[in-house]
Amino acid sequence: MKRLFRFFMVFLLIGMFMAGAAFIALAMYYRDNFPVNTWINGVYCTGRTVQEVNEELALGQGESVISIVDGDGTRWEMDMGEAGVRPDYTEQLKSYLQTNASFYWLKNLGKTVSDQLWPKTYELEDEKLRKAFEELPFVKEELGRGQGVRVCCAEGGYYLQDDNENRLNVEKAYSCLRENLKKGNATLLLQESGCYEKLPDSAADLEQRDLWGQICSFTDRCGKIVYDMGAEKIPFTPEVASGFLKREDGSQSPWLDESGNIVIDEDKVRAWVTQLAEEYDTWKTEREFQTTRGDVVKVTYDTYGTQLDDAAETKYLLEALRTDFSETQVHIPAYSHQGFARGLDDIGDTYIEIDMTEQKMYYYADGELALETEVVTGDTGKRMGTHSGVNFVYHMQRDRILRGSGYASFVKYWMPIKGGVGIHDAGWRKTFGGEIYKNNGSHGCINTPTDIMGELYEMAQVGTPVITFY
Report pLDDT for 196.
Answer: 95
Q: Which has the minimum average pLDDT: 111-115, 135-139, 147-151, 427-431?
A: 111-115
Distance CA 441, CA 456 (A): 21
pLDDT over threshold 90, residue 356: yes
Report pLDDT for 328.
Answer: 95
Query: Among 399, 395, 378, 379, which Cα is nearest to 454's?
Result: 399
Query: Among 419, 407, 417, which Cα is nearest to 448's?
Result: 417
Q: Which has the minimum average pLDDT: 174-183, 288-297, 354-363, 368-377?
A: 174-183
Eight-state DSSP code of residue 438 = G
pLDDT over threshold 60, residue 17: no
Residue 88: which pLDDT band, with cuts at 50, 70 and 90? Answer: confident
Average pLDDT over residues 387-408: 94
Homologous superfamily (CATH) for 351-469 = L,D-transpeptidase catalytic domain-like (2.40.440.10)
First-to-final CA distance of the chain: 151
pLDDT over threshold 70, residue 8: no
pLDDT over threshold 60, residue 25: no
Strand ranges (E), 70-120: 75-79, 85-88, 113-115
Name residues whose C-beta falls within 8 Å of residue 283's C-beta, 6 or more positions apart in sequence. Answer: 301, 305, 306, 307, 337
Report pLDDT for 60.
Answer: 62
Distance CA 465, CA 345 (A): 12
Report pLDDT for 23.
Answer: 46
CA atoms 403, 407, 413, 417: torsion sign: negative
Residue 28: which pLDDT band, with cuts at 50, 70 and 90? Answer: low
Q: What angle do CA 51, 54, 58 make, to 5 degrees?
A: 140
> 47-58 as b/e, with b when 16 or more CB fall inside 10 Å?
ebebeebbebbb
CA atoms 274, 275, 277, 278: torsion sign: positive
Residue 57: which pLDDT band, with cuts at 50, 70 and 90? Answer: confident
pLDDT over threshold 50, residue 248: yes
- Tell me the pLDDT of the chain averaged across its residues: 88
Distance CA 467, CA 388 (A): 7
Average pLDDT over residues 208-234: 94
Q: List 353's β-bridge partners, or say none.
A: 362, 467
Query: Among 73, 45, 72, which Cα is nearest to 57's?
Result: 45
Q: Best-predicted range by mean pLDDT among 93-107, 143-157, 237-251, 386-400? A: 386-400
Distance CA 254, CA 244 (A): 10
Considering the chain, what percentage of its residues have pLDDT values greater than 90? 68
Distance CA 457, CA 207 (A): 68
Report pLDDT for 429.
Answer: 96
Name residues whose C-beta falls within 8 Å of residue 171's C-beta, 6 or more positions apart in sequence. Answer: none
Report pLDDT for 104.
Answer: 53
394, 416 contact by CB (below 8 A): yes
Report pLDDT for 21.
Answer: 44
> 378-409 as b/e, with b when 16 or more CB fall inside 10 Å?
bbbeeeebbbbbbbbbbebeeebebeeeeeeb
pLDDT over threshold 90, residue 18: no
Distance CA 64, CA 87 (A): 9
pLDDT over threshold 70, residue 22: no
69, 190 contact by CB (below 8 A): yes
Residue 282: which pLDDT band, with cuts at 50, 70 and 90? Answer: very high
pLDDT over threshold 60, residue 93: yes
pTM equals 0.66
